A = this chain, B = another copy of it.
Amino acid sequence: MSANIGFIGLGNMGGPMASNLLKAGHKVKVFDLMPAAVEKLAASGATVCQDAKQACDDVQVLISMLPASIHVENLYLGEAGILSSIAPQTLVVDCSTIAPETSRLVAANAAERGIQMLDAPVSGGVGGAVAATLTFIVGGEKAALELARPIFENMGKNIFHAGAAGAGQVAKFCNNMLLSVLMTGTAEALQLGVDNGLDAGVLSEIMRQSSGGNWALEVYNPYPGVMDNVPASKDYEGGFLVDLMIKDLGLAMEAALQQGASVPLGSLARNLYINHGKAGYGRKDFSSIQKIYNKDEPES
């Protein structure tokens, strides 16, 4: 069933997501500050808007995909904020990865105007955005999520309901903090085994089937040559950048600070990732953390 959708933010992620909505037969009105990003979508059949407010007119669903909390706050709540331009029956879905308090603040403002809003940060990277295999981790009313589900399914595969407004953000940074720990711990265990004479592939397989089993060993082994078609076997190109992992860990750390939560392993992983970024690996895949453990290859 075709819907009228507004889409604001057509970057590396938003662009292919909007494109998949067009492929699914929806009418999509798009806006981005970068003309090049807009033109690409226009060529695929999107209607070009001159500003964000235009993208809100006469749509059933409005989706935003922006880099950080400040952009989301400015878009919806700033002086030229679009909340006042959105009709009450519109379902608003913010797919940005931002601080949960920003998600909650915008959702509360939306609710005051009778607008339903979901925070729905994604995982799966650019590859997942293009292939329409993203995971959506959603905060907000369950009923609103069900309304949005067909739209999510045009852009992704797994859709999780994490809880009330902001919960999508919390679940995402908890997951990514754990991921940073898994990946770093896996890299560390593999190198310790190799330093003690084991074959990385053999050890990977033993741990994968044992109590050390985790997502990295299943599908994203950080040790070069163990798996085909993962960044580790392509000089850590592509994938999920170290700089982006640092951003997500920052959101987790902020939340930990606010709650007085203890996060020793997450903090350590973050600091190791920052050191790694400073050593020149910011634009490499996050599994390149393997490099800090490697005996044979000095980093400088």
Contact = CB atoms under 8 A, between A and B. Distances in A.
A279 B298 contact: yes
Contacts of A283: 300
Chain B CB within 10 Å, residue with most, of A212, A250, A257: A212
Given A185-B266, A202-B162, A213-B214, A299 B277 contact: yes
A177 B192 contact: yes
A263 B271 contact: yes
A274 B298 CA distance: 11
Interface stretch (A31-39, A168-176, A222-230): A168-176
A198 B170 contact: yes
A175 B212 contact: yes
A267 B265 contact: no
Contacts of A281: 300
Contacts of A202: 161-163, 171
Interface stretch (A13-21, A84-92, A105-113, A287-295): A287-295
Interface stretch (A44-52, A55-63, A203-211): A203-211
A98 interface: no
A81 to B, nearest CB: 21
Contacts of A158: 209-210
Given A261-B274, A262-B271, 17 more contacts: A170-B203, A175-B189, A181-B182, A181-B184, A181-B265, A182-B211, A182-B212, A185-B185, A192-B261, A195-B255, A214-B215, A243-B300, A254-B254, A264-B267, A264-B272, A268-B268, A278-B299
Interface of A: 100, 123, 135, 137, 158, 160-164, 166-167, 170-171, 174-179, 181-182, 184-186, 188-193, 195-199, 202-203, 205-207, 209-215, 218, 220, 243, 246, 250, 252-257, 259-272, 274-275, 277-283, 292-295, 297-300
